[in-house]
Amino acid sequence: MAASGSSQSAAERREAQREALRKQRQAELRRQRTVRTIVIAAITVVALVLVAGAGFLVYRAAQPEGPVAVPKGMSTDQPYLTLGAPEDSGAPVVEVHLDFMCPFCGEFEQANGVDLAQFVDDESITLNLVLRNFLDTNSRSGDFSTRSANAMVCVYEDNPDNTLAFQKLMFDNQPTEGSAGLDDDEIFDLAQQAGASDEVRSCMRGSTYDRWVDEVSDPYGKEVDNSTPFVSIDGESWGGNNMMYEPGALKATLTERLSGDASDSGGASDAGGASDGGA
């Protein structure tokens, strides 16, 4: 009887061990199912978020962006900032295309900026400034030309009288090509030095005129002449043979034009006339 009892106890122990192992396996299977459910749920949530986000982006992309913001007093398709005499006054119209990352534009400003500002102050010419941004790719930030042009328009809208002072300061502090360019705080500091109000900061932060530069001004400049600086007087290109970089040359041309002597010596002309004037 003792042997039989001992044998039964051993069987019971084996059965208990088997039962414990069975419960462990069941618990492990439940744990794995729980983990699997959580993982699947998480993946599903992430997928739904991604799908919703993609759908929102597609929806936004399909919506019209609305009209391009333009400064007060300008027509929606006007591709330049106008200073000096009214365009219908009969005064000579000087058009200058510039990009704030363009080193040659800086040279043009150094040679002619003061003279142009004087003609504008006297309202003896109409000055149209065409802002380009095609050199964005020449800055590490990838958008210096656009940000600078937007700031210029913000300054113009704030007070047109400060526009050329700001332009001069920008070229006086022009970064080298390939650099990140000035940041927005540095640009705004120059705008303040030119006389701009605090409204210009919010205008810059809102990238208010980025689209105007990108969709109106820059395409117009590209269509007329895809280079900077580009200068024309009454619709005719001026400044060939590096004449535009000679201090006093543009002043002399405009003085002659204003005096009624529209000779070919440095005047508004085709490339051949500019070459003759520079010889």
Per-residue pLDDT tens for 115-126? Answer: 999 999 999 999
Question: How many of the other CB atoms lie within 10 Å of CB of 160?
Answer: 16
Weakest-pLDDT range from 38-42, 67-71, 260-264? 260-264
In sign, the C-alpha dihedral spanning 79, 134, 158, 169 is negative
| Tens digit of each residue's pLDDT (9 = 90 or more) over 19-40 | 777 777 778 778 888 888 888 8
Architecture in CATH of 81-278: 3-Layer(aba) Sandwich (3.40)
Characterize the bridge pairing of strands 230-233 and 93-98: antiparallel
Domain boundaries, the chain: 1-63, 81-278
What percentage of the chain's residues is helix, strand, coil (to nearest 5)? Answer: 60, 10, 35
Q: Which residues pair with 48 in a beta bridge?
A: none
Which pTM value belongs to this model?
Answer: 0.72
Residues in the chain: 279
Lowest model confidence (mean pLDDT) among 62-66, 97-101, 154-158: 62-66
- In 3D space, the residue among 251, 246, 227, 247 whose CA is nearest the CA of residue 237 turns out to be 227
